[in-house]
Amino acid sequence: MHEASVPAVVLAAGEGRRLTPLTHRRPKPMLPVANRPLLEYVVSAIAEAGVDRIVLVVGHRQERIRTYFGDGDDWNCSIEYVEQSTRLGTAHAVAQVESVVDGPFLVLNGDRIVDADLIRRTRERLLEAGSPVVSVTPSKRPSEYGVVELDGDTVVSIQEKPHAADPSSLINAGVYGFDPDIFDAIRETPQEAGELGITTTLASAAETESISAVRYRGTWLDVSHLWDLLYVTAATIDGGQRGSAAGAHESAAMADDVVVGENVRVGPNATVGGATALGANATVGSNAVVSNAVVFPDAVIEPGAVVRDAIVGENAHVGANVTIAGGSASVVVENEVHENVEFGGVIGDTAHVGGGVTVEPGTIVGDGVDIADGTSVSGRFETNAVVRRG
């Protein structure tokens, strides 16, 4: 089989519940990283690897993905779509493509940035081995992923998110190679908590057949939690992908590692510090300070505001002299406490933060929340909440 004829299946149907409120209106793979959707980095790497056919498995808010990527012409490949109407896990998502693949194929996560080289190597190994292929990479947070044990380049076991794992453990890097036999294996996979996980399928398969591992140490960026968006943005723009700062006042100070969308306005004496992405039509008022931040399109940060280590949603309004000071926080996500996270917080889409408000580190302000002037807020505020002083 010619290498280019091995299609890539990209799993992009998930809701991204741990990333609310940012995923209420957009699917997780469409979160902006340096002003490009996370999924675009995946599609670009696949195309760079010489794959000319991509199947996107879509679900939650799928119209955003379909509209942006279309038929794939802009990436010099063909893109088609398969719907996962109910999200029942990664193996279930893979099963949705059974009718559209007829030979070996690759599978990638739509929310994980990797190099084209890993995709090439996984494809080569798949065509050589003729058996399932799993990519692995070292991780400092192995308990959050599937931990893989190897004997040479053969998978011995896969454990999904073990409670205790060696800090230098190899984890599942999220690029796979399969042939159509995988669909029978998925049908035999038991559900766990109502979901079919591809690592569960592979863990069972490893007991009876040889699964080949591709070791990888290149770019591997994953957005699992809100604060990861800051880290991944910083890692992506390291080295300076600065856009046109034509809308910045001559007295504004702009760091080199800032990405600027179209029609961004930065007022007099404002400071835009490093590792910051300003989305299209965003406004940063005079004397404001924005640093280590992701500012979505059409957001307004008024004069004198300080926004550090934070995410400001689309059409959100941060009032004059607001302080989001950033720094270390404890953040609760789905009843799990994450300690010592460098995270100023999130201001959801269309939220309005009044003048002089203090936002404590780790605060999560939902979509459409209205916070009155002069308030001090902390914790989590659900969609359309109204916060008054007193």
Q: What pLDDT is attached to residue 192?
A: 79
Sort strands 317-318 and 300-301 into parallel, antiparallel or unpaired. parallel
Q: What pLDDT is attached to residue 243?
A: 60
Sort strands 146-151 and 154-160 into parallel, antiparallel or unpaired. antiparallel
Q: What pLDDT is attached to residue 374?
A: 97
Residues in the chain: 390
Question: Domain 3-132+176-224: which topology?
Answer: Spore Coat Polysaccharide Biosynthesis Protein SpsA; Chain A (3.90.550)
Across the range 316-327, mean pLDDT stands at 97
Alpha helices in the chain (DSSP H): 38-48, 62-69, 90-95, 116-129, 181-187, 198-206, 226-237
Across the range 9-21, mean pLDDT stands at 94
Report how far residue 353's alpha carbon sits from residue 317's, in angstroms, rounded to the nearest whole number.
6
Confidence of residue 244 (pLDDT cuts 50, 70, 90): low
pLDDT for residue 168 is more than 60? no
Q: What is the pLDDT of residues 177-202, one digit of tens each?
A: 999 999 999 999 888 777 888 988 99
Reported in sequence order, the residue ranges of 288-368 that DSSP labels E, i.e. its strands, are 289-291, 294-295, 300-301, 306-308, 310-312, 317-318, 323-324, 328-333, 336-342, 345-347, 352-353, 358-359, 363-365
Question: In the chain, what are the domain boundaries?
Answer: 3-132+176-224, 228-387
Q: Which CATH number fits domain 228-387: 3.40.50.1220, 2.160.10.10, 1.10.340.30, 3.30.830.10?
A: 2.160.10.10
CA-angle at 347, arms to 271 and 340, nearest 5°: 85
Q: What pLDDT is attached to residue 112?
A: 95
Average pLDDT, the chain: 93
Report how far residue 190's alpha carbon sits from residue 193's, in angstroms, rounded to the nearest whole number.
10
Across the range 110-134, mean pLDDT stands at 95
Closest CA to 94 of 9, 205, 188, 181: 9
Closest CA to 40 of 48, 55, 30: 30
Residue located via tokens 């038991």: 190
Chain-centroid distance of CA 326 in Å reads: 21
pLDDT for residue 167 is more than 60? no
DSSP letters for 277-296: EE-TT-EE-TT-EEES-EE-
Domains 3-132+176-224 and 228-387 share a fold: no
Token pair, residue 86, equals 């109910």
- Residue 333 makes CB contacts below 8 A (sequence gap 6+) with 18, 225, 226
pLDDT for residue 239 is more than 80? no
